[in-house]
């Protein structure tokens, strides 16, 4: 969950960057390219669209919550299996009628994407199925806006609760390996049919989780998208990378609380966060309603998987196309730390999400959606 281990941090090496006008960064040759408008009026337009979209999606979320509450009142339980790995799959993509009035949008256009504008592109994609992997402390619930936007655009979406996260009932303190933590994700990949592929999207600690399965199932992954996420090199742990923050993060050190389920004489078993401080740390640009959702939904982060070093090979992990999304107003995983990961382990392309805190699915859902769609439409490389 961001740089939750700042107290372990050595001083990070200084990184310098040169700004370039392009939006996308092939091979990270142009380090800065704000995914934003060049004028204040267009920036304001994008913000208004995000707010407008927030309102529409929130109405749907409130309706879903009301139905769940009604079901709970009638049956005494939720329509979810809390004893096993929980995955929220989407139905098959709808056939959306085309409209002759659709206009072409440039890739720098932050206007609302309408489903009829994507129908033909989706039908020609290598895959239209995305698997969303939450970060430490989060759950599948955090993607509710992104799920709605992608499904309305014709994509198939799975949002997974990793072990001990979201509504998964396993005790976080009992998770001892990364393999155990990501099992709900590996279950999805194992069940894919021959020739079937997905796009993985990992946020925060979810970056290490998708890296782990990239090594195991490279032929089943079309692309991997890291959103303010731990993008590791072989031999690194998430702790190694997230502890390399420049200076000290006083807010993080104040917010974090180590849990010792096995006793104070043993290593920590999990990390929890002070709910009074997470708004400034994680959600400094997010709507109040989403902060409230997070405060009642977040769970502790298992510590053992965070310390586990990954073994990543060029033949497997290195064969999967990687993309990175930088969140520019992030207080948990600051921009210099994200830049450092990109420089150390360069992805194919880098996208910059202006105005986003550590939770772009809350603070900039439309802009994040636009980037995910754009990456999904990048054609396969022909060897």
Beta-ladder partners of 156: 129
What does the chain come to in residues? 383
| Annotated catalytic residue 187 | no
Greater model confidence, 89 or 148: 148
Q: Which residues of 8-46 are buried (b: 16+ CB within 10 A; e: fewer)?
A: ebeeeeebeeeeeeebbbeebebbbbbbbbeeeeeeeeb
Task: State pTM to two decimals.
Answer: 0.74
**Per mean pLDDT, which range of 6-10, 48-52, 254-258, 351-355 is the poorest?**
6-10
| Annotated catalytic residue 204 | yes
| Annotated catalytic residue 71 | no
**Per mean pLDDT, which range of 51-55, 62-66, 174-178, 253-257 is the poorest?**
62-66
List the catalytic residue out of 204, 240, 272, 357. Answer: 204
Q: With bands split at pLDDT 50, 70 and 90, how would you rate the model's confidence at 122?
A: low
Contact call for residues 376 and 351 (beta carbons, < 8 A) = no
Mean pLDDT of the residues in the chain: 77
List the catalytic residue out of 54, 161, 330, 357. Answer: 330
Which one, of 378, 318, 338, lies nearest residue 32 by Cα?
338
Rounded CA separation 142/359 (Å): 9
List the catalytic residue out of 134, 168, 203, 358. Answer: 358
What percent of the chain is modeled with pLDDT above 90? 60
Sign of CA dihedral 184, 186, 188, 191: negative
């Amino acid at each position: 969950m961001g740089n939750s281990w700042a107290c372990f941090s050595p001083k990070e090496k200084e990184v310098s960057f040169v700004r370039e006008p392009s939006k996308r960064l092939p091979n990270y040759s142009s380090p800065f390219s704000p995914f934003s408008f060049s004028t204040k009026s267009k920036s304001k337009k994008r913000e208004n669209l995000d707010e407008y979209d927030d309102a529409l999606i929130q109405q749907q979320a409130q309706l879903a919550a009301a139905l769940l509450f009604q079901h709970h009142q009638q049956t005494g339980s939720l329509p979810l299996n809390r004893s096993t790995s929980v995955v929220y799959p989407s139905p098959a993509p709808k056939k959306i009628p085309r409209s002759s009035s659709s206009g072409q949008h440039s890739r720098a256009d932050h206007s609302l994407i309408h489903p009829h504008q994507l129908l033909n592109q989706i039908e020609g994609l290598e895959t239209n199925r995305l698997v969303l992997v939450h970060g430490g402390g989060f759950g599948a619930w955090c993607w509710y806006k992104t799920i709605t936007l992608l499904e309305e655009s014709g994509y198939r979406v799975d949002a997974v609760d990793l072990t001990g996260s979201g509504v998964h009932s396993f005790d976080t303190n009992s998770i001892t390996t990364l393999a155990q933590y990501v099992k709900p994700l590996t279950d999805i990949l194992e069940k894919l049919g021959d020739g079937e592929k997905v796009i993985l999207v990992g946020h925060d600690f979810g970056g290490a989780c998708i890296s782990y399965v990239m090594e195991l199932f490279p032929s089943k992954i079309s692309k991997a998208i890291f959103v303010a996420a731990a993008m590791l090199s072989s031999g690194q742990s998430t702790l190694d990378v997230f502890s390399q923050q420049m200076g000290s993060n006083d807010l993080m050190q104040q917010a974090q609380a180590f849990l010792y389920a096995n006793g104070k004489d043993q290593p920590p078993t999990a990390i929890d966060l002070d709910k009074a401080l997470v708004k400034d740390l994680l959600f400094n640009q997010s709507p109040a309603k989403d902060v409230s959702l997070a405060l009642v939904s977040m769970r502790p982060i298992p510590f053992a998987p965070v310390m586990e070093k990954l073994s990543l090979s060029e033949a497997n992990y290195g064969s999967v196309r990687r993309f990175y999304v930088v969140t520019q107003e992030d207080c948990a995983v600051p921009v210099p730390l994200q830049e450092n990961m990109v420089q150390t382990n360069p992805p194919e392309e880098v996208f910059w999400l202006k105005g986003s805190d550590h939770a772009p699915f809350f603070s900039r859902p439309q802009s994040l959606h636009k980037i995910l769609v754009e990456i999904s439409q990048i054609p396969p490389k022909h060897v």
